[in-house]
């Protein structure tokens, strides 16, 4: 009996390995990889979308931009090339939702501080007040990591167009007043192709947990 098992030991090992491979393959087929949706303007509440892009059903991407960060550096889309990033809109003197959003973004900053693939981007909606020095003081006060997170200011129309036509995160494009842009609490998850992959309530801790989980799913897309 022992001689029989010794004779066929190699074949038994090969058969076992093939069985494991078959089982894993079947499991992979039955449980497909999780994948996030790619959001298009026609999938989003029309209140948040400029009328010029509401009809778009595919190929929507974040437009090119050129803004200044808290250090006075020019920040363009090239800074985020081949990166995943999380974007939002705020202003430094906001006393209601913005402090909560900033605190949650700081939590995300801590989670991604060792991750070279992920960055953060916050746009002020009152650039006439939130100048580079104001953003710098805010960044120092909050403990913002300049290597991970840009607070940007610049041309008001460009910022408002980005909010309404690219990130789909503003309820109005304003009427010319100093606080005329009604920005949402949304954090927007952007992939390496500059596409929207998720919206999250930046004031809700559970939504932040969902964002971090979706970030894991999105990173896995590129690993596979």
* Beta carbons within 8 Å of 192's beta carbon, 6+ residues apart: 82, 83, 84, 222
Closest CA to 120 of 133, 101, 134: 101
| C-alpha torsion sign, points 174, 176, 177, 179 | positive
Residue listed under structure tokens 């074949």: 11
Q: Which residue has the tokens 């989980």?
A: 213
Check if the beta carbon of residue 145 is closer than 8 Å to that of residue 109. Answer: yes
CA dist., res. 53 & res. 46, Å (int): 10
State yes or no: 94 annotated in a binding site. yes
104 assigned binding-site residue: no
- Mapped onto helix, strand or coil, the DSSP state of residue 63 is coil
Q: Alpha carbon of 16 to those of 11, 22, 200: distances in Å?
A: 9, 10, 46
Report the binding-site residues for Cu cation: 94, 98, 183
Report the binding-site residues: 94, 98, 183
């Amino acid at each position: 009996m022992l001689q029989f098992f010794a004779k066929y030991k190699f074949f038994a090992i090969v058969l076992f390995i093939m069985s494991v491979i078959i089982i894993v393959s079947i499991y992979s087929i039955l449980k497909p990889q999780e994948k996030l949706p790619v959001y298009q303007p026609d999938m989003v509440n029309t209140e948040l979308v400029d009328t010029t892009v509401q009809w778009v059903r595919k190929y929507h991407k974040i437009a090119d931009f050129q803004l200044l960060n808290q250090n006075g550096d020019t920040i363009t889309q090239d800074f985020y090339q081949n990166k995943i990033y999380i974007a939002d809109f705020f202003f430094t003197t906001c006393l209601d939702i913005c402090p909560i959003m900033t605190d949650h973004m700081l939590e995300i900053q801590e989670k991604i501080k060792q991750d070279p693939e992920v960055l953060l981007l916050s746009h002020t909606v009152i650039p006439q007040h939130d100048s580079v020095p104001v953003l710098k003081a805010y960044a120092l006060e909050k403990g913002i990591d300049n290597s991970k997170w840009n607070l940007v200011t610049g041309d008001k129309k460009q910022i408002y167009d980005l909010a309404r036509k690219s990130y789909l995160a503003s309820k109005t494009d304003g009427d010319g007043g100093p606080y005329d842009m009604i920005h949402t609490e949304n954090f927007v998850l952007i992939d390496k192709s500059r596409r929207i992959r998720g919206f999250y309530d930046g004031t809700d801790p559970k939504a932040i947990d969902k964002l971090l989980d979706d970030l894991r799913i999105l990173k896995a897309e590129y690993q596979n």
